Amino acid sequence: MSINSFGHLFRFTTWGESHGPALGATVDGCPPGVRLEPAMIQQWMDKRRPGLNKNTTQRNEPDTVNILSGVYEGKTTGTPIQLMIENTDQRSKDYGDILNTFRPGHADITYHQKYGLRDPRGGGRSSARETASRVAAGGVAREAIKAIAANVQIKGYMTQMGTKKIDPAKVDWDQIDQNDFFCPDAEAAAEWNDYLAWLRKDDHNSVGAIIEVVARGVPAGIGAPVYAKLDTDLSAAMMSINAVKGVEIGEGMAAAALTGRDNADEIFMGSDGPEYSSNHAGGILGGISTGQDIVVRFAVKPTSSILSPRKSIRMDGSPTEVVTKGRHDPCVGIRAVPVGEAMMACVILDHLLLDRGQTGGVRGSIG
């Protein structure tokens, strides 16, 4: 069983727990000859790492990534790449009182029901610290993509916090890294900042979010028609992230309310090949990329660990109330942005490699 692994040809396996000595990813299937230095991965780790600002968890981890194998003189060798991130700021005493209690919204109860035992420190394997390993694997994928399809750009951002949505017309990629929220609209970011401060400090509460991830410049013809559709793999990738409860491609759920006329992305012949009037399909038709932006959206639930008391039970079945102290993200959507980008990078690289293996780059000509 490979239930800790993801991907077909570019495949990574994550390992480790929240409060163990370290965690990481073993990346297999990366092509040889890709330039890879720790700093190339670290830039993405730094976007996800905790303690960056007041709007994320105050656990302070440098999340320094160590490359233990698979790279020689700054280039990948085609052998497994072992990536390791040390845990340095564990405070297991924060979790002492939940040893025998199931926290609502957490995996404590299901891990216990399934395995009969669990590492309760920081949620053990169910902690979103696991996502640091994915971001590291995604950093490798980004470098390998550059070597195969240099024009690909991958960008994630938050489009909604709670009920507060951004205006799609105001999306400006240049704004994304200018605020704490990876929000592409400066005005919305300022509003979110005040809202989250109130929610965290005064209301002792948390809130959900929607994240959009776009892959631009992906050539047409990447993907597969049936069981490894590009949209199937992207959905699995995003749905595997902690706290994700919904995934959409392109128009997504809203497509149900459209008519066939509204939803048709009409095709025209442009000077450089086919062009489309719109992108309701999210850049994928029949599981295969069209060459338009690939657009994936996912919803994360509100952080379960909050300072407001919630009813639960202990392991012996007796009732209790849980107030989660410790250090938590008031909106997990913020740090989920680099995680979504990493998963997009891994899927796109995987499909670039699959396509190279099956078709060798053969394409049907148009025009």
Ligand X SMILES: Cc1cc2nc3c(=O)[nH]c(=O)nc-3n(C[C@H](O)[C@H](O)[C@H](O)COP(=O)(O)O)c2cc1C
User: Counting contacts by CB under 6 A, is residue 332 touching ligand X?
Assistant: yes
User: Counting contacts by CB under 6 A, is residue 85 touching ligand X?
Assistant: no
* Contacting residue, 126, 133, 179, 290, with ligand X by CB under 6 A: 126
Calculate the alpha carbon distances from 2 to 79, 128, 230 in Å.
19, 19, 21
- Quick count: other Cβ atoms within 10 Å of Cβ 362? 8
- Judged by CB, which is closer to ligand X: 43, or 278? 43
User: Counting contacts by CB under 6 A, is residue 128 touching ligand X?
Assistant: yes
User: Counting contacts by CB under 6 A, is residue 47 touching ligand X?
Assistant: no
Residue 345 annotated in ligand binding: no
CB under 8 Å, gap of 24 or more: what pairs does 90-94 form?
Answer: 90/18, 90/19, 90/121, 90/122, 91/59, 91/326, 91/327, 92/19, 92/121, 92/122, 94/122, 94/325, 94/326, 94/327
CA angle 43, 44, 45 (to 5 degrees): 95
Contact 291, 273 (CB under 8 A): yes
Site for ligand X in 169-208 (CB under 6 A): none
Site for ligand X in 100-119 (CB under 6 A): 106-107
Residue 48 annotated in ligand binding: yes
User: Counting contacts by CB under 6 A, is residue 17 touching ligand X?
Assistant: no
- Judged by CB, which is closer to ligand X: 84, or 107? 107
Residue 101 annotated in ligand binding: no
* Contacting residue, 18, 131, 159, 289, with ligand X by CB under 6 A: 131
Residue 126 annotated in ligand binding: yes
CA angle 60, 64, 69 (to 5 degrees): 150
Residues tagged in the binding site annotation for NADP(+): 48, 54
- Residues of this chain that interact with ligand X (CB under 6 A) are 57, 106-107, 123, 126-128, 131, 241-243, 301, 303-305, 328-329, 332, 335-336, 339
